Chains A and B, each alone.
Chain A
């Protein structure tokens, strides 16, 4: 059984690495990298599902009868595009945050926001 499933377990480990980076890292860009790794591992999961032992790429040709499953491929093509769209937006946001806050570290940004609201508290008449 282990031999049959180890493929998936490797994918799970990759996913968790990505997931961990997203939630534990403070640097905004690293978070986005983590998100990317997380998403790409999900793609690998789908694609491993699609593989058929002894099959080839799902392009019909003479003499080949066994193919790998094309449907997950289609889904993942879409998902890759969605992933790059999210990454692009995330990076654009990171650039703007750097300009507005002067930093791309999560805790520094929170500090600056908190300081601002407390100075305003102090200024209340």
Chain B
């Protein structure tokens, strides 16, 4: 079922390409098909693959779905036809972006111009969303490892990984190229599909690949836990600081034109820096999330099943004491 959802993600990515939405396709492929599937697989290893057959009839659910679907189809009846160039959305705000962005911002990739400059504040919010998810997962799943367990986990990992020697060697060669590709995507986002999000995800994917094959603790030694958390925060702060600097230079928040003597150059500088901020935060948060999930799993394997290790989940024990 998880694989099916991964395939669904890939299919939607190809659909996006067919719809000329190349940036979106890129992001959906890496995020929807890649990270999403990875997370679900990790979760399934933690919770088990079996499920029970449904016990009650889903009539209410079917009714709700039917009404919602009918309403939606009713709504589509007056929509402009698919592909129409006369649709309201193609007549109002969008033409300005397509026609004037070259003068105002000077970048071929209009999606990047809109994302990073015209609607830069939305992207700032989005970076904050990713950051929130990272912190939330940390709050839910992070475990402080005790040193005795480290040795045990290392031993298990080493024995497992002996079997994958070929993979390890191949990956070791590939990883630098993946990093290079990530950097390319990051900085080329102005001219072709790409940008901070996609680059961040690819970067994180390389690290996760390394962790999967060489063991979590090795990966952790290479990439310090607290450093990653600081990096995630730094990305958001970098983005915001660009806005603050704009304000100090006399413009509004996130107005890049005041960042350099020439407005267009200012736009380029601004976009470059914020995309970097986005890339840093996205990469760090993806790594944090993966490490949190994987760390939880390793801990379980060592200490037996279903034992609570962060010690804060008794069920109403205080109230049980009162009841007599």
Contacts and interface: CB of A to CB of B under 8 A. Distances in A.
B269 interface: no
A93 B114 CA distance: 35
Contact of B62 (A24, A66, A94): A24
Given A5-B82, A49-B89, A74-B111, A80 B129 contact: no
B31 A84 contact: yes
Given A77-B197, A100-B313, A50 B19 contact: yes
A113 B126 CA distance: 36
B21 A73 contact: yes
Given A44-B12, A47-B24, A67 B98 contact: yes
B137 A89 contact: yes
B155 to A, nearest CB: 24
A81 to B, nearest CB: 5
Interface residues of B, number: 96
B66 to A, nearest CB: 8
B221 interface: no
Interface of B: 1-2, 5, 8-9, 12, 15-16, 19-24, 27-28, 31-32, 35-36, 39-40, 42-44, 46-48, 51-52, 54-55, 58, 61-62, 64-66, 68-69, 72-73, 76-77, 79, 81-85, 87, 89-90, 93-94, 97-98, 101-102, 108-111, 114-115, 119, 122-123, 125-126, 129-130, 132-133, 136-137, 140-141, 191-193, 197, 282, 289, 292-293, 296, 306, 308, 313, 315-316, 319-320, 323-324
Given A57-B20, A120-B316, 9 more contacts: A8-B82, A16-B68, A20-B65, A33-B1, A50-B19, A59-B108, A92-B141, A102-B306, A105-B52
Instruction: Kindly list the 7 A-B residue pairs having the minimum CB-CB distance in the complex, ordered from nearest.
Output: A4-B81, A85-B133, A123-B323, A53-B83, A24-B61, A68-B20, A16-B69
